[in-house]
Each structure stands twice: as C-alpha cells, then as structure tokens.
Amino acid sequence: MLGGPGSGKGTQLKRLCSRMGIPGISVGEILRQAIVSDTFLGKKAKPYVEHGELVPDELMIQLMRLRLLQEDTQNGWIMEGYPRTAFQAEELDFVLEDFGQRLDTAIYLQLDEAVMAERSIERSRHDDTLEIIQRRLELFRERTIPVLAYYEPRQKLLRVNGNQPPDAVEAEIRQQLSDFS
Ligand code: AMP
C-alpha cells in the first residue's frame, strides 16, 4: 500500500487485512514501537523518525527481511509505508525471491497534496511540527513517487482515488483488486 502522509494507508491496511485474514505490516508502527521500547533498531531509527527523515535503506531492508521471516507471513500479507524508495522496491523483490514469495500488487492511494497536508495536520502527533509535515510531503514527492515507475511497467500498480471517505476508498480498492485478478 503506497501513499503519502495522511493518505489513509494505515486505515485501509487494517480494513483489508481483517477482511482477507492476513497480517498487516505497518512499517511506521514497527519503527515507533522500537523507539518506545528503546531497542537497537529504535535507537538507530529515532533521530530520522523524529525529524520526518527517511531511515537509511540498509537498515530498513534488514528490518523487512526479519519481519518477512516470521511465520505469520506464509499465506500472504499486506504492508504499508514500504517500499518508500525505488531502491527499497527493488530490494524487496530480491528478498521475496529469496523467500519464494512475490509481490502481486502495489496499491497506490492517490490524493491531492492539499488533502494530504490537511489530514496530516489534523492527526499530527505531539512532536509533528508543520515543518516536519512539509518535509514528509517533500520526501514523498522526491523519493516515493519514483516507486510508482518501478511497479507500473511491471503491470503491478493499481491507482485508487484516496480523496474519498474511507468506505469509498475501501470499495474502490476491492473493486480494482477483483478486476485485476
Ligand atoms: P509513517 O508512520 O509510515 O509515516 O512512518 C513514520 C516515519 O518512519 C517516517 O517519517 C520515516 O521516518 C520512517 N519510515 C517509515 N517507513 C519508512 C521506510 N520505508 N523507509 C524509511 N523510513 C521509513
């Protein structure tokens, strides 16, 4: 599940996973928990997450490899917040190949930037300043938009209108997934 800050990825992840009975992997959530628990990963990731910067690819790739090794991923999974760079997208395919898995579909929640900014401000956590929100949007534009160009020619990309209310977004995702398969 791809999308910018405030695009509703987390909400849609929960809805789809409970409907499909497969685990949801929220990368931002894993990082925030690691920071609270002050683990090795948490210590390394903290300065980046707190400033709205991207955690270095090498660390993220290790983290995802470990997550996908867990038993619950055997019958499928949905992830959100990953991949966030073209390099992560490419590496994810290598990791999946190693594990005898493959990525079927990348769902892109497409929103107007003004809507993303507004939603991010509304739900912002106590340490989210306007400046950090702006930085997240900028990184999304610069680093994550290129991920679309990775999946599109591979015929894996579904574009969904994320400007709508959550029920309508969910319905559109389900419709597109059934047309796709
Ligand atoms: P999120 O909850 O998805 O907005 O993620 C919160 C923060 O975690 C981001 O602002 C980044 O600092 C970090 N993060 C999450 N996913 C990634 C990723 N795929 N690559 C690098 N950093 C990430």
Identify which of 56, 52, 178 has the alpha carbon closest to the alpha carbon of residue 125.
Answer: 52
Substitution candidate for ligand 1 out of 13, 32, 49, 57 with most atoms within 8 A of CB: 49
SS (H, E, C) the chain: CEECCCCCHHHHHHHHHHHHCCCEEEHHHHHHHHHHHCCHHHHHHHHHHHCCCCCCHHHHHHHHHHHHCCHHHCCCCEEECCCCCHHHHHHHHHHHHHCCCCCCCEEEEECCHHHHHHHHHHCCCCCCCHHHHHHHHHHHHHHHHHHHHHHHHHCCEEEEECCCCHHHHHHHHHHHHHHHC
Question: Which domains are delineated in the chain?
Answer: 9-180 (3.40.50.300)
Render pLDDT for 18-77 as a digit per residue (tens, 0 to 9): 999 999 999 999 999 999 999 999 999 999 999 999 999 999 999 999 999 999 999 999
Q: What is the pLDDT of residue 124?
A: 78
181: confidence class by pLDDT, cuts 50, 70, 90: confident
Identify which of 93, 119, 104, 116 has the alpha carbon closest to the alpha carbon of residue 176.
Answer: 104
| Ligand 1 closest atom vs CA 83 | 19
CA distance 62 to 40: 13
Render pLDDT for 82-126 as a digit per residue (tens, 0 to 9): 999 999 999 999 999 999 999 999 999 999 999 999 999 888 777
- Binding-site residues, ligand 1, Cβ < 6 A: 5, 27-28, 31, 48-49, 52-55, 60, 81-82, 84, 88, 136
Distance separating the N- and C-terminal Cα atoms of the chain:
17
